[in-house]
């Protein structure tokens, strides 16, 4: 399950985050997301710094979110007790992972990555995930 920065990268550029989304698109990988993560993604993609890139892709925030919704499973109202005091907003990623019984959280966020694991969920960078998951 990817966090918002991985989703933004995967939707707007090529590279490992994009490959992760493509694997979900082909059904090789199941990605999960929660409504509160979708809301944050919508807000982030709407920032002016991404507008030129979205236009260059001949797309819109709505189209990008719509395409993502075709390849993810939405988990409703996940919750965990507070874990990340430095950035409590990151707890929603952990909550979604727990609710989905995810094996991995794929993130570029230092607060999440510092945990390395939460319960039985491995927390890794996109590259570390891809190298472990996609290796022959």
- The pLDDT-based confidence of 108 (bands split at 50, 70, 90) is very high
Question: Is 46 within the bounds of a domain?
Answer: yes
Residue 64 lies in a domain: yes
What percentage of the chain exceeds 90 in pLDDT?
Answer: 88
User: In the chain, how many domains are there?
Assistant: 1
Summarize pLDDT for 56-93 with one digit per residue, the tens. 999 999 999 999 999 999 999 788 888 998 988 899 99
Neighbouring C-beta atoms of residue 50, cutoff 10 Å: 16
- Region 47-52: what's the mean pLDDT? 97
Tell me, what CATH number does 52's domain have?
Answer: 3.40.50.1010
Identify whether 19 is part of a domain: yes
Q: For residues 110-130, give the mean pLDDT.
A: 97
Q: Is residue 136 part of a domain?
A: no
Q: Give the tens place of pLDDT for each residue, 5-28.
A: 999 999 999 999 999 999 999 999
User: If 0-12 CB within 10 Å is exposed, 13-18 middle and 19+ buried, where does residue 120 land?
Assistant: exposed
């Amino acid at each position: 399950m990817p966090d918002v920065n991985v989703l933004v990268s995967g939707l707007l550029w090529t590279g490992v985050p994009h490959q992760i989304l493509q694997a979900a698109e082909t059904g090789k990988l199941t990605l999960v997301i929660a409504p509160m993560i979708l809301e944050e993604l919508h807000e982030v993609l709407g920032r002016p710094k991404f507008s030129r890139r979205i236009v260059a892709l001949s797309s819109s925030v709505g189209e990008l979110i719509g395409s993502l919704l075709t390849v993810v499973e939405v988990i409703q109202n996940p919750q965990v007790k507070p874990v990340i005091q430095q950035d409590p907003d990151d707890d929603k990623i952990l909550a979604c992972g727990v609710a989905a019984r995810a094996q991995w959280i794929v993130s570029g966020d230092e607060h999440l990555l510092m945990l390395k694991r939460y319960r039985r969920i491995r927390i890794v960078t996109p590259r570390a995930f891809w190298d472990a998951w996609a290796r022959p």
